[in-house]
A and B are shown apart, each in its own frame.
Chain A
């Protein structure tokens, strides 16, 4: 079933929409949730919540690219779960990813603009667009899909240590770009 048909089911309020979403994108959403949470049952709950969230949002929302839309919901729900449960649970995958992302956080400067997340996304997109294709893909695979460094290294054919180094360089580059723009978080 193509995405358009699935979205039509949502608009018709036909619960088959959820089943078709699960069938087509269940693995994908689960992969993202597992990558960031690392706990099977929590990932499953997160994905189920993502379906429910899609059900609530469509209509009126019409996702441009349904797969990415679902992935984004899954990411948002994953970090919400992380925030709510951090006192109790160790979401180590998320903790590692966030710890790495600390490297991208710009240092305070005199000319600062505190911004909404939407604006931050725009700056990140500008930075991503300026990167060589492979670097761009590696960054997104690591920090959007949550692929582990070892996994990326295997796919790319280099050692995990080299991949980690490359990631560090990318994070520093993003940080420098944001600092140049006077971004403060």
Chain B
């Protein structure tokens, strides 16, 4: 394709041109305009606050917080601090049981000790050598004093949310301690927290759902969590996969290697789908063709060489609905599986059997997972049941079990279902019970590493964002919220609406619980 040659031609441009484009600061004029807009937005807000104080609408002390000054923030994620990779905010503790008689005091501390430059060592030819390095995650302690104002002990069922994926949960999942003792908890996972957009881009009237769009700013989490349905769903039972299916298992897939023109020998499995209601799932497939009008289907399976990943692995075709015609096997020179590219010498054993969708999905994605594609995956936070249930959820929401299948999943690849489930951003909930003594209090700490929000490329790659929400998704009554920063000698704060002033030593500030969102951008100090 000529446009692909053009792509290759552009790939080969000079290094200095690439570097120039990466580091380029767009014209002063445009930047000033953008910042002016942001400043004006906050300027107007600050003016409103002053007026409100004058009218006595806000409580005492509202206007005294440094965060209300116009110059202290950039406008946050709504107007300026949008990152290419958004880690999600620190959420507040939530209660699942009755909160009558309970008040909460919260302090959220962002510790930047990890920004300290340290020597890291490695060995070369038996000799130690090293280099300087630092990390950009913040160690967050989200601390709560839960006060019981009644004359009886209260057992509170609490839930602590965090944004993450099954794949990175092991790194970012908070630990919960009550009065300094780490307690046992259980984990629940919400559905995918993002959405989709068209293959034609974001600014189009096309409605296909071909691309994943993870939540990019805090307001998307706000929309997700504020009516309570997301969390209710996270605690609900997973949907069942008890549909009867017909499975075609391909084993002993082999190629005799006699045709030297076969650059990528591939097995094509060809069949006809009789009913338009029939849906097809595949496992181990590397391509295919479908003619919905004629019902002619072709599923292609790359034949790995010995020592190649997937060698000797069985492949599957799963039919949901009326059975297909008897599949025919044909070898092809390459993965295109096109007419005229047929080769001899490709063989496989095909076995047909019936089972339920749940049984075959459990077998392939859970039981045999370590034997096939996913041997290097690291799964620590989610149980097999949770992963299986989340795959089922995705199939019902957007996959082949949905009444409105997203284009992204219309090929019915089981591996795609798995990897999507594994990597999709979601809000997860850590559940635990805590006893609050009569007329007393307990301290609950959620300790976590909080990944920074950041940009991959461009002039702003040195800025890292951290944010929190005050009440979103929580039924607790907060009598006070504060925030603090620690080990700030390694950073400078570029934008914020907290009101920290490191030069003046203001590292702890009172928060307005009616302000839904606080944010800051920091940069490593050299």
Q: Do A and B bind each other?
A: yes
Residues of A participating in the B interface, judged by any CB pair closer than 8 Å: 1-2, 5, 9, 12, 14, 16, 23, 27-28, 30-31, 38-41, 64-65, 67-69, 71-72, 75-76, 79, 83-85, 87-90, 92-93, 95-99, 101-102, 104-105, 117-118, 120-121, 123-125, 128, 133-134, 136-137, 140-141, 143-145, 148-151, 154-158, 160-161, 185
Given contacts A84-B335, A101-B7, A157-B33, list 9 more A-B pairs with CB under 8 A. A9-B124, A14-B122, A14-B124, A31-B457, A40-B419, A65-B19, A87-B287, A140-B10, A140-B17
A28 vs B12: C-alpha distance when bound (angstroms): 18
A86 vs B472: C-alpha distance when bound (angstroms): 42
Chain B residues with CB under 8 A of A31: 84, 456-457
Q: Does B24 contact A (CB under 8 A)?
A: yes
Interchain CB contact under 8 A, B457 and A85: no
| Residues of chain B at interface, number, CB under 8 A | 67
Interchain CB contact under 8 A, B456 and A143: no
A1 vs B454: C-alpha distance when bound (angstroms): 21
Give chain A's interface secondary structure class: helix
Interface-side segment among B70-78, B105-113, B194-202, B355-363? B194-202
Interchain CB contact under 8 A, B7 and A120: no
Interchain CB contact under 8 A, B22 and A145: yes
Please give the distance in Å from B411's CB to the nearest CB on chain A.
6
20 contacts between A and B (CB under 8 A): A1-B133, A30-B456, A69-B15, A79-B7, A87-B300, A88-B286, A90-B210, A90-B407, A101-B3, A104-B6, A125-B13, A134-B27, A136-B17, A137-B20, A137-B26, A143-B7, A144-B13, A144-B21, A150-B201, A155-B458
Interchain CB contact under 8 A, A28 and B456: yes
- Given the known interface contacts A40-B212, A87-B287, the answer about A105 and B17 at a Cβ–Cβ threshold of 8 Å is no
Please give the distance in Å from B242's CB to the nearest CB on chain A.
28
A88 vs B408: C-alpha distance when bound (angstroms): 11
Interchain CB contact under 8 A, A117 and B12: yes
CB closest chain-B residue, reference A6: B131
Interchain CB contact under 8 A, B6 and A185: yes
Chain B residues with CB under 8 A of A140: 10, 13, 17-18, 20-21
Chain B residues with CB under 8 A of A117: 5, 8-9, 12
Chain B residues with CB under 8 A of A2: 131
Please give the distance in Å from B199's CB to the nearest CB on chain A.
3
Interchain CB contact under 8 A, A88 and B27: no
A149 vs B4: C-alpha distance when bound (angstroms): 19
Q: Does B285 contact A (CB under 8 A)?
A: yes
Interchain CB contact under 8 A, A158 and B30: yes
Interchain CB contact under 8 A, A16 and B21: no
Which residue of the partner chain, among A40, A128, A155, contacts B423 with CB atoms under 8 Å? A40
A64 vs B12: C-alpha distance when bound (angstroms): 13
A89 vs B300: C-alpha distance when bound (angstroms): 13
Chain B residues with CB under 8 A of A155: 26, 458
Q: Does B229 contact A (CB under 8 A)?
A: no
A76 vs B13: C-alpha distance when bound (angstroms): 13
Q: Does B337 contact A (CB under 8 A)?
A: yes
Chain A residues with CB under 8 A of B16: 65
Of listed B6, B82, B454, residue having the most chain A CB within 10 A: B6
Q: Does B288 contact A (CB under 8 A)?
A: yes
